[in-house]
Structure 1
Amino acid sequence: MLPPYLIIAAKSTAIYLFIITAIRIFGKKELSQLSVIDFVFILLISNSVQNAMVGDNTTLQGGFAAACGLFISNYVLKLILRTSPLFSKIVQGEKILLIHDGIILREGLRKSMFSIDELKSAIREHGVDKIEDVDLAILEVDGNISVLSKNYSHRTVKARKKPQLSHNP
């Protein structure tokens, strides 16, 4: 029989992998792009899986075991994503072209599950007023939308996500 804290860590890892898979299947938006509905959904999911991870164990050690399982799982997953392009493509997907030469690509919009209003909002965040002025809009694998435009080239920076420090040497 496994020690109870190892069981908690293993259950937490299983839930972590399940949630990643479910988010990958049902949607790709990052936290910076969450609507109120998405945010409430994430809160409810986290609450609903808590008992599956720790069960009746509400001790500090049980919480540490669950957190350790999640931290280790996250570290290993990110390591594999960096070293395996194929695995990265499966888990994170590929960039999706949304606008090309001022024309909305309906297939890209469908794949990304973005509405036209969300797309218009994203290009406005980049300082571009009209879709016709966009040369290229891409939903990146990290959930950001990159917008390139000749008319507004000085404003074509990623605006949807706070910069993160790189841990790569």
Structure 2
Amino acid sequence: MVLLPYLDIICRSVAVYFFMTIALRVFGKKELSQLNTADIILILLISNSVQNAMVGPDTSLWGGLIAALALFIINFVIKKLTHKYKLLGDLLIDKPEILIHNGKLDFKTLSKLDISNDELKEAMREHGLEHFVDVKLCMLEIDGTISVISEDKKHLKQTHYKRKHNHKNLRK
């Protein structure tokens, strides 16, 4: 049967898709909106390492196209299902995190997300704020941006601070 090898490619591709989704969720890659060199290298190496797992011995054009089509379809289906079923969405999609509420920093969340004081202050400055007490709400959004809302309406801006992956403070 001609379709059997392609069914194998589809099953392998779907398995790799779920593995990568779970791995990214477990390892907490919230910073995907801004990748550094190490992240790009990792993505390239992972894509190369899972290629054979998806297509097996079939290195033909059709094998690659079937694998890509299976990935597009499963991604489309997963997006539809996460919108329809809240529990599945909760498992697969990150949630926004509150960093500052009414001028009070959430140190537990900041530590968990590895957000430095300097990074937080940079986001506040981009929103025209200097002091933590001026912040009504500061959140790490699911796309890796930090949103800041102040009590003073004149400081509201439409800018977003993109998190940098390098969290180290370069103090001497």
The structure with the largest alpha-carbon Rg is 2
The match for 1:53 is: 54
User: What's the CA shift string for 1:18-50, capped at 9, x where partnerless?
Assistant: 111111111142432333322322222112211
Partner of 1:73: 74
Aligned position for 1:155 = 157
Relative to structure 1, is the Cα distance of residues 118 and 69 closer, same or farther in structure 2, using a 3 angstrom cutoff?
A: farther
Name the CA shift for 1:98/1:156 in 2 (closer, same or farther; >3 Å).
Answer: farther
Identity within the alignment, %: 47
Aligned CA RMSD, in angstroms, stands at 2.5
**TM-score computed with the length of structure 1 as normaliser:** 0.79
Where do residues 15-30 of structure 1 align in structure 2 (5 Å cutoff)?
A: 15-30=16-31
For CA contacts below 8 A with separation 6 or more, give which structure has more relative contact order.
Answer: 2
Distance 1:125 1:42, change over 3 A: farther
Q: Give the distance between the partners of 1:32 and 1:107, measured in 2 at CA.
A: 23
Distance change (3 Å), C-alpha of 1:91 and 1:133? same
**Superposition deviation, residue 149 in structure 1:** 1.7
Once the two structures are superposed, the pairs formed by residues 1-169 of structure 1 within 5 Å of their partners are 3-151=4-152, 153-158=155-160, 160=162
CA contact (8 A) 1:96 1:112 kept: no
Sort the Cα spacing of 1:68 and 1:125 in 2 relative to 1 into closer, same or farther, 3 A: farther
Tell me the amino acid that sits aligned with residue 90 of structure 1: L
**Aligned partner of residue 107 in structure 1, secondary structure:** helix
Alignment length (residue pairs): 161
> Equivalents in 1 of 2:14, 2:129: separation in Å?
42
Q: Where does the alignment leave 5 or more consecutive residues of structure 2 unmatched?
A: 164-172
| Pairwise CA distance, 1:129 | 4.4
CA distance in 1 between partners of 2:90 and 2:79 (Å) = 13
| Contact 2:98/2:137, CA 8 A, preserved across alignment | yes
Q: Report the 3-state secondary structure (helix = DSSP H, G, I; strand = E; otherwise coil) of the residue aligned with 1:13.
A: helix
Listed as ranges, the gaps of 5+ residues in structure 1 are: 162-169
2:33 match: secondary structure: helix
